[in-house]
Amino acid sequence: MSSQTSVYSGNGRHVFDRNDLSALRVTINPNPEKIDLLGDFERSDAVLRWYDQEAGLKLLGFGCFAISTASNAIQDPLEFLIEGQCYNAADLFTRIKTKLPKWLWTTPIGFFALRFDAERMSESSPWCEWPTTLVQIPKRIIVQRDDQHAVDIRFELDKSAQDATHADEARVDLEDALDDEWALAQQSPTLSFAEESVDFQSRVSEVEKACRREIVDKIVVARSTHVPCEKTKVFCPRQTYAALVTDYPGTTVFSLRQGRRYFMGATPETLVRVTESRVTTHALAGTAIRNPESMLSDDKIRREHSYVVDDIQASLDPLCDELQIETKPTIRPANNLFHLQTKVVGIPKAGYSIFDFVGALHPTPALCGLPRQDSMAWLRRTEPLDRGFFGGPIGLFDASGQGGVCAVAIRSGLLSQRDAIGFAGAGIVTGSNPRDEWTETEAKLGAFRSALRTVTRLDPRDTAQ
């Protein structure tokens, strides 16, 4: 198990009141330099790299100040673990806001990632070392919007000199653990599951029959592909991330680090954006490899898309005072594909946070199916792979704990030194053709596969594991 997972423990301990947060120290430093998302990629302790190209937002998160990995973290009152003790999230956000100028209250200070299915975990899965849910405030976060100056924010508890010495010792232990982990990785290849075309098409056929019999309206089936590295080379996370940024403009490019393993992607899909006065999202469903205009008159694709639009409306209506939905879909270029898109804008009711909206929307019919519970039950019975964070929500939350942005982690994969695993899914409805769905998933997997970059192996500290 990687060195970071030692932090993923301690849920259920005593929750301390806000007076225990009096030692919280927040340091704010304007940074005149632009964020270099690729700088010091392998050697730093950056746990998250985020580039929302559409919104012009860049973010780097280093280390761990506060964390929650409870599987129901975003449904129940959120509690954070800080240095072995649990604190109520609402109290923590209140304390943080007193330390920040008001203009920074809507600035992202933390991130979250959820498995597609919290009940689907396997020891033989490549995700076996990853938590079910991850909600984290880094020790240091650097944020930059568009061409503005970056802001460097640091969180810590005011500690004695003796505590600082212990922290230095822990940092040395962490570096040693990373080196030990790299050596272990040479003996333990990444576990993966790659499905043959005939097996995938058989699953698609069974789902299509279920749709025709009206057992379900739609199910999204997923598959993975395993890409081993050449013997004399290793995968380079820095160059791979750079390729995702360069090759797929308009997407949100993310890299979530677990030890020396990375979950990376360039997703075109936003689950939701939340501010105090506005909620925005979009239905993104229906795919074409070529001739995108044909989607507008394709009955199968329009039905697949309408399921997502209707579900978003039903999910958001209880949380919004007002909701506006485009009457006709448009075509959205995404990576090497095209999708139908319908934009949705609303005014949120008071008291609902980014986590409430994520909980209401996930999983959408674009990644799971309809009806939601029946589709998920079908996938648990028949899908041979653990999706892990693929298809799950991944996003940022602000200093108020209310606003933020959440993407859907598609066009993504896992990257280690010797192996890469890409993931893709396809929505199946009545009339879906198994061979066409295989071709569609191949095209989607191509977004991750084509971005993979390798370097000649020289030294473990120059590459990822």
Neighbours of 158 (CB within 10 A): 9
CA distance 69 to 49: 20
Q: Give start-end residues of each CATH 3.60.120.10 domain in the chain.
A: 197-462
Rounded to whole angstroms, how far apart are CA atoms 20 and 87? 9
**pLDDT band, very low/low/confident/very high, at 141 (cuts 50, 70, 90):** very high
pLDDT higher at 444 or 191: 444
Query: What percent of the chain clears pLDDT 70, i.e. is strictly above it?
Result: 85
| Exposure class string for 89-105: b at 16+ Cβ within 10 A, else e | bebbbebbbeebeeebb
CA angle centred on 160, ends 155 and 163, rounded to 5°? 80
| Interatomic CA distance for residues 2 and 129, integer angstroms | 7
Instruction: Please tell me which residue, 97 or 120, carries the higher pLDDT value.
Output: 97
Contact 270, 281 (CB under 8 A): yes
**pLDDT > 80? residue 250:** yes
**462 compared with 200, residue with greater pLDDT:** 200
- Its pTM surpasses 0.95: no
List of long-range contacts for 122-125, beta carbons under 8 Å, 24+ apart = 122/386, 124/191, 125/191, 125/193, 125/385, 125/386, 125/388
In CATH, 197-462 is 3.40.640.10: no
Tens digit of each residue's pLDDT (9 = 90 or more) over 162-181: 344 444 433 333 333 333 33
Q: Are 377 and 425 in contact (CB under 8 A)?
A: no
Q: How many helices (H) and strands (E) does the chain have?
A: 8, 26
Q: Which amino acid is at 16?
A: F
Q: Using CA of residue 381, residue 382, residue 388, residue 391, what is the dihedral sign?
A: negative
pLDDT of residue 11: 38
Residue 242: pLDDT band with limits 50, 70, 90: very high
335-387 pLDDT tens trace = 789 999 999 999 999 999 999 999 999 999 999 999 999 999 999 999 999 99
The Cβ of residue 112 has, within 10 Å, a number of other Cβ atoms equal to 23
Q: What is the pLDDT of residue 40?
A: 67
Cα end-to-end span (Å), the chain = 12
SS3 305: helix
Q: Which residues contact 105 (CB under 8 A, 6 or more apart)?
A: 97, 398, 399, 400
Lowest mean pLDDT among 78-82, 102-106, 156-160, 297-301: 156-160
Average pLDDT, rounded, for the chain: 86
Per-residue pLDDT tens over the stretch 129-140:
899 999 999 999
Residue that wins the pLDDT comparison between 1 and 307: 307
